[in-house]
Amino acid sequence: MPRPRTAGGDRADLVIVESPAKAKTIERYLGPGYRVLASYGHVRDLPAKALGVDLDHDFAPRYEPLKDRRRELEKLATEARQSDQVWLATDLDREGESIAWHIAEYAGLTDDQIRRVTFNEITKGAIDAAFAHPRSINLDLVNAQQARRVIDRLVGYKLSPLVASKIRRGLSAGRVQSVAVRLVVDREREIAAFVTEEYWTLAAELRRADAGATFTAELSRIDGAKARIGSEAEARLHEEALRGERFVVESVTRSERRKSAPPPFTTSTLQQEASRKLGFGASRTMRAAQSLYEGIALAEGQVGLITYMRTDSVAIASGAVAEARQVIDSRYGEAFVPKRPNTYRTRTRGAQEAHEAIRPSNFARTPDAVRDQLKPDEFRLYELIWKRALASQMAPARFDQVGVDVAAGRYTLHAGAAKRVFDGYQAVYIEGRDDEEDERLSVLPDLNQGEALDLQSLASEQHFTQPPPRYTEATLIKALEEHGIGRPSTYAPTMETIRKRGYVTVEDRRLHPTESAERVTDLLVEHFPEVVDLDFTARMEEQLDDVARGTNAWVPMVRGFWEPFNEKLVEGRTKIAKQVELTDIVCPVSGDFMVKRFGRNGWFLGCSAYPECKHTMPLPGEEPETPPDMPGVGEVCPLCGQGHLVARRGRYGPFVGCDRYPECRYIKKDATAPSEQFGTCPKCGLGTVVTKRSRRGGRPFWGCDRYPECDFSTWTRPGGAVTAGPASDGDGTDAAAPSADGAGRARGRRRSPRRRRRGSQPVSDRSHG
């Protein structure tokens, strides 16, 4: 147990952790004599606007305090210099070790001052044990994290500009990110190339000859071979043939199946299961897990509810196993406690297994006991973790299985059933499935070999083979883990990065690659194959693990990557062609030819004189539809006197502006599309109900054209005759959407759909890149 210490008789030892919540929890356990401060996560990094790696001197990194952490770092350094002992209690992974080193290095602490402590859970017992056995900073772990950071910076800082210059601005590449994107792109192309095949199944409803219960058997073999029916005509032939056959029970097999409990959660399996069962994304899962780990205010004080949440281990400490077995015995009975504790080994490639699996810090603290103290996400995740960890130490579930083969001439039909006879771990927890199919249990009547059966009906059903499903966040993380790519701390940030960079869109929780993703992947596969090669990336992770174990030096490892990579960079700058295509269309602004370019929103035409001329146009045939009768179209621009007014469509709908944009930014303020009219306003009886669009998102609604004198509005499209009326006063768009009852008051100023941020383009939101 830690004993209070003072320096010079009046100074407490300094303890540094990563988060304020964690600091509050630990300070409660340590008591007087210790001052606990938080670093708020990382404190230093490579410079934001420079490479920060000395390529001529063994890749020496140049670290700078993070802009929003400078004040905390200075405070920590000042307090640390004034303390005889500094207990660095940052997280127990490589990142935590690196943060501890950065603080010590920045503050200029000596080895005699540093006490490095780690713990897998924030409980009094774990804190006491950690402070009783301090150690020095593990420089092997620090070097492994430093090597990872340097390589990631070299890839991102050197390769991203090349990708952006050849395809479009704003694109980037990353060591793990680009592999994840490639997996999504490859899966999409696999789906596109998939050739659907038709097949049919036949099912017979059969009854015992003594008029017992009916059951269904499916055609499984024809002439002893697996049944394959490829067309309706073929299905009908077999159906007719079966109707003339005699059905007899050929064999009955009975067996017991035991299904063992799943292992406790690792970081990736927690993210996968939270996605399946709770609908959480990886980042949302980790935010809730972080809160549960760092501490929740309970009646007994600030308490950490789960063990460390960044881990690839499936092991549980012996003390926690004993505690789980006691809870199982008291809640479910002795039969649910296996004779020997369940043990697990991870099959994940490159797993470090240095820590425990994710489990409750106290199995006796049930989800219901802490429900009122937790936020909804925290409770749902804690319940998931508690049930999975408890189930991992329970007896297997047992099933009685019956299989029946029915002979009918040259045909064999099969029926199977399973009945759970002992719940085992399934009394607490059943795993989610990516295919969203539940395990179905069924029952068959008692049947005997040689028994005759009566055919009640035959049914044929058409099916089509299905392509592999698109990735979800959960299945993509699973694929990365299976290939040994990334580590527990990188999965959630990788998912967030590929979404924010516009490489994937999410529809019904499935990841769809964008055209940007496909173009970047093709460029990298052709010119930098090692960056997106699964095996190469996995081998690099293994080399980083060797650095962490102290069996490999980090500088030679980085050099082995950088030298061939840099050669390809130099070659690529000249050999990789920019993805533009010259056209014979003349730019109306500069007179130069337009080129076909790829931008954030797809292909468009841009002036070949860019950046001197920034004029853009949609591709021929892809011009957005605009009402032909908008007022002002064809007139000379009143601002510049050179251009002419044209109808265009922006993010808020159609508008009229100068065709010399961006040189002339004139927008005609009173030009809008004609509004549909839906009769007299039911509220004021004076105005007319017209179509409008909400400012946020452009969703259509219907309101009185006398706004703001009359505030009638509704989301429901009015019935009755529709007529085309004149443009509504203003812009036809109110600042607020209608309320739920259809007559909410529109608040605030009206805002023109033509209004845009400075520098934006009304014609196209695309850059030349």
Q: Tell me the sheet residues that pair with 724.
A: 676
Of the residues 308, 411, 425, 661, only one is catalytic, namely 308
CA distance 149 to 47: 12
DSSP H helices, 530-663, are 534-549, 554-575
- The 10 Å Cβ neighbour count of residue 259 is 16
Bridge partners of residue 65, in order along the sequence: 44
Task: Supply 69's token pair.
Answer: 């952490």
Look at residues 568, 246, 294 and name the one whose alpha carbon lies nearest to residue 408: 246
Count of Cβ atoms closer than 10 Å to residue 286 Cβ: 25
**DSSP codes, 246-278:** PEEEEEEEEEEEEEPPPPPB-HHHHHHHHHHHH
Query: How many other CB atoms are found less than 10 A from the CB of residue 377?
Result: 18
List residues bridging with 723 in a β-sheet.
677
Name residues whose C-beta falls within 8 Å of residue 556's C-beta, 6 or more positions apart in sequence.
Answer: none
Strands ordered across the beta sheet of 688-693: 713-714, 700-704, 688-693, 676-680, 723-724
308 catalytic per annotation = yes
Record the tokens describing residue 39, joined without a space: 């670093």
Give all strands (DSSP E) within 621-753, no chain letters: 645-650, 653-658, 676-680, 688-693, 700-704, 713-714, 723-724
Residue 718 · residue 680 · CB < 8 Å:
no
Furthest-apart CA pair in the chain: how many Å?
A: 101
Euclidean distance between CA atoms 337 and 395, whole angstroms: 6
Rounded-to-integer distance, Cα 167 and Cα 161, Å: 10
- Reading phi first (left if > 0) and then psi (alpha if -120 to 50, else beta), residue 494 is in alpha
DSSP per residue over 160-197, as a string? Answer: HHHHHHHT-TT----TTHHHHHHHHHHHHHHHHH----
What is the pairing mode between strands 645-650 and 653-658? antiparallel
Q: Which residues, in sequence order, are bridge partners of residue 44?
A: 65
Pair type for strands 723-724 and 676-680? antiparallel
Q: Which residues pair with 420 in a beta bridge?
A: 399
Residues 39 and 47: their CA atoms lie apart, in Å, by 19
Whole-angstrom Cα distance, residue 710 to residue 701? 15
- Residues 524 and 54: their CA atoms lie apart, in Å, by 25
Q: Which residue has the tokens 């052709």?
A: 526
8 Å CB contact between 587 and 594: yes
Residue 555 CA to residue 744 CA, distance in Å, equals 66
**Is the separation of the CB atoms in 645 and 633 below 8 Å?**
yes
CB-CB contact of 61 with 142 (8 Å):
no
Q: How far apart are CA 140 and CA 354, in angstroms?
A: 14
Show the CA angle centred on residue 327, arms to residues 326 and 328, nearest 5°. Answer: 90
Residue with tokens 């009906």: 457
Q: Where on the phi/psi map is residue 13: left (φ > 0), alpha (ψ -120 to 50), or beta?
A: beta
Sort residue 50 into left (φ over 0), alpha (ψ -120 to 50) or beta: beta
Answer yes or no: are the C-beta atoms of 413 and 220 closer than 8 Å: yes
Cα dist from 562 to 56, 431, 558, 572, 695, whole Å: 12, 43, 6, 15, 50
The catalytic residue positions are 308
